[in-house]
Amino acid sequence: MDYSEAAERISRKFSKSGKAVDVKKIEGKLRRLVDEFGVQPQEAERSVTNELNKEFNIPTAGSGGGSKAGSGNEEKKIAEGVPGDWVTIVGKVVALSAPASPSIAQSGIIADESGAIRFVAWAKSNAPAMAEGSWYHIESAVVDEFKGVPNLKIHSGTTVKEISEDRSLIPTPVPIKDLHPGIAGVRAKVIQEWDASHERMLQSGLLGDETGTIKFVIWKEPGKEKLVVGAVYTIFYAQVDEFNGRLSLNLNTATIMQEEGDIPVSGGETAVQGSIVHIAPGSGIIKRCPVEGCNRALSRQNYCPIHEIQPKFVYDLRIKGWLDDGEKTHNILLQRDVVESLTGITLNAAKEIAENNPLGMDEVFLQVRDKVLGRYVICHGREIDGRILVNTCERVKFETSEHAALLNRAGGSS
């Protein structure tokens, strides 16, 4: 048993919920249980974990088999494995990916009817090399978590055997709003393609279905192709990652099939009500690059970061700001038509001001600001990458019924 690895695993589990534990102490306890008391490694790990749970007053979740020694030999469905479990599974290798470090022999995705999980076979595990498309019986592997994504660890105590099996697996796509970190499939449409922010990135953009939207990324690798904007795909075995509370889909491990036809994408619709507490610089009237497909905002000197000086710019209106409901502040972006209807200032009127007022574009900023700052509005739009792209924005109206309800509530017994 690798005591320090097991101790790390336990400590990670607790530190995730904000509990600090002493890794060296855990390692010592594990060693003592196994070496001195002859306890099986998986049982030692479970017992140390439970002891800590008690210490922190955490109820032991689903004690099914919890006290049974050697339950790592119990066969489980892949979807049932939770971090900290020792499991035995039967599954099909549906993807292999390049190992991230020399200590890893193989990594990829293994699936059964219930779901799929990323696996990592340590170099020291001496596990046989697995082949994509083949089925394996994997005994006494450990489920842990890496960056919030469950991971099946194949270590030196794990037995891997190829089995003859050629059932076909038909995974079910998950609605985008129900995705959580791990491996999943979606049926979605490519709504947008974004500028690659990294030279190793082949493509990034936005996928949507009826329930929501999610960012996707494909990294450059032999055989990887870009998705077509506007096309619908069924995607299996993609990796759902979480970063700063936002999910994204990594498609490098995925099986991707383009589909005929179209699907409705109403996804990501949110409504937020609050007051506009900040109007950011760059709001008001702006100039955009006229080069086909560019549309970038130009600097004051009419300079596009890509196409340099563009004297034949195109005017546009927008508001970048913060909408605050008292609990949370939302980054909002209002485009021209929304700005026009909210402020009553049309693009033409703004152009007049920008070209004739001594303050120029700044005057438009000030007028827009004075018309919206501090006002209660309700914004409907799509939340993308932490910002709400607002489709409609209306002033909130005073509701007599709400007033009456609040009077009631405040007047009620304290």
Partner 1 sequence: MITNPQDMTRKEGAFEREPARRVFATELRECRYQFKDGEDEKSPTFVLLPTGERSNRIFIVGTLTEKTRQGEQNIFYRGRVVDPTGTFFVMAGSYQPEAMQQLAKIETPAFVAVIGKPNLYQKPDGSFMNSVRVESITVVDKDTRDLWVLDAAKQTLDRIDIFNIGTAPDVIKTKEQYPNSDPAVFRRAAYDALAQIKM
CA distances from 324 to 51, 172, 184, 334, 397 (A): 44, 38, 34, 15, 17
Element (H, E) at 5: helix 3-16
Q: Which of Zn ion, partner 1, none does residue 396 bind to, with CB < 5 to 8 Å depending on kind? A: partner 1
- Work out what residue 275 binds among Zn ion, partner 1, none; the CB cut-off runs from 5 to 8 Å by kind: partner 1
179 contacts partner 1 (rule: CB under 8 A): no
Stated as kind and residue range, the H or E segment containing 332 is: strand 329-334
Tell me how far CA of residue 357 lies from CA of 81, 276, 345, 354, in angstroms. 67, 26, 15, 6
Instruction: Compute the least distance from the CB of residue 395 to partner 1, in Å.
Output: 8
State yes or no: residue 52 binds partner 1 (CB under 8 A): no
Give the containing element (helix H, strand E) for 30. Answer: helix 23-31
Rounded Cα–Cα distance for residues 129 and 162 (Å): 10
Query: Of the candidates 307, 375, 395, 403, which one interacts with Zn ion according to CB under 5 A?
Result: 307
At residue 336, φ and ψ (nearest 5 deg) are: -45, -55
Which residues, numbered 232-251, are part of the site for partner 1 (CB under 8 A)?
Answer: 244
Cβ atoms within 10 Å of 73's Cβ, excluding its own: 14
Alpha-carbon distance of 159 to 140, in angstroms, equals 7
Residue 309 as a binder of Zn ion (CB under 5 A): the answer is no
Name every residue whose Cβ is closer than 8 Å to that of residue 175 and which is 6 or more positions away in sequence: 186, 209, 210, 211, 212
Cβ proximity to partner 1: between 234 and 275 the closer is 275
**Minimum separation from the CB atom of position 283 to partner 1 (A):** 12
Report the residue from 291, 359, 406, 407 that binds Zn ion according to the rule CB under 5 A.
291
β-pairing verdict for 149-154 and 116-122 = parallel
Place of tokens 């507490």: 277
* Cα–Cα distances in angstroms (integers) from residue 277 to residues 65, 126, 271, 283, 399, in the given order: 54, 59, 17, 14, 22
> Cβ closer to Zn ion: 276 or 298?
298
Residue 356 binding target from Zn ion, partner 1, none, CB below 5 to 8 Å by type: none
183 and 108 in contact (C-beta within 8 Å)?
no
Residue placing its CB nearer to partner 1 in the complex, 222 or 326: 326
> Toward partner 1, which CB reaches closer, 80 or 193?
193
* 298 belongs to the binding site for Zn ion (CB under 5 A): no
Q: Given candidates 23, 96, 256, 294, which one binds Zn ion under the rule CB under 5 A?
A: 294
Q: Tell me if 17 contacts partner 1 by CB under 8 A.
A: no
Under the binding rule (CB under 8 A), the answer on residue 341 touching partner 1 is no
User: CB 38: neighbour CB atoms within 10 A?
Assistant: 8
Residues facing 88 on adjacent strands: 75
Q: Which of 12, 351, 380, 387 binds partner 1 (CB under 8 A)?
A: 387
Angle at CA 57, nearest 5°, toward 55 and 58? Answer: 110
Is 257 a binder of partner 1 (CB under 8 A)?
no
Closest distance of CB 332 from partner 1, Å: 11
Nearest approach, Cβ of residue 193 and Zn ion (Å): 17
* From the list Zn ion, partner 1, none, partner contacted by residue 307 (C-beta under 5 to 8 A by kind): Zn ion
The dihedral of CA 214, 215, 221, 222: what is its sign? positive
Return the one option of Zn ion, partner 1, none that residue 328 interacts with (CB less than 5 to 8 A, by type). Answer: partner 1
Query: Mapping DSSP to helix (H, G, I), strand (E, B) and coil, where does residue 249 land?
Result: strand
Contact 94, 116 (CB under 8 A): yes
Q: Is 374 in the site for partner 1 (CB under 8 A)?
A: yes
| Binding site partner of 153, from Zn ion, partner 1, none, Cβ cut-off 5-8 A by kind | none
Is residue 210 near partner 1 by the rule CB under 8 A?
Answer: no
Contact between 269 and 278 (Cβ < 8 Å): no
Residue 289 makes contact with Zn ion by CB under 5 A: yes
What the block records as the tokens of 340 is 């026009």
398 touches partner 1 (CB under 8 A): yes
Nearer to partner 1, 147 or 167 (CB): 147
Of the candidate residues 50, 192, 234, 250, the single one contacting partner 1 (CB under 8 A): 192
User: Which residues contact Zn ion by CB under 5 A?
Assistant: 289, 291, 294, 296, 304, 306-307
Interface ranges with partner 1 (CB under 8 A): 192-195, 197, 244, 275, 277-278, 288, 295-297, 318, 322, 324-329, 331, 333, 335, 369-370, 373-376, 384-387, 389, 391, 396-398, 400, 402-404, 406-407, 409-411, 414
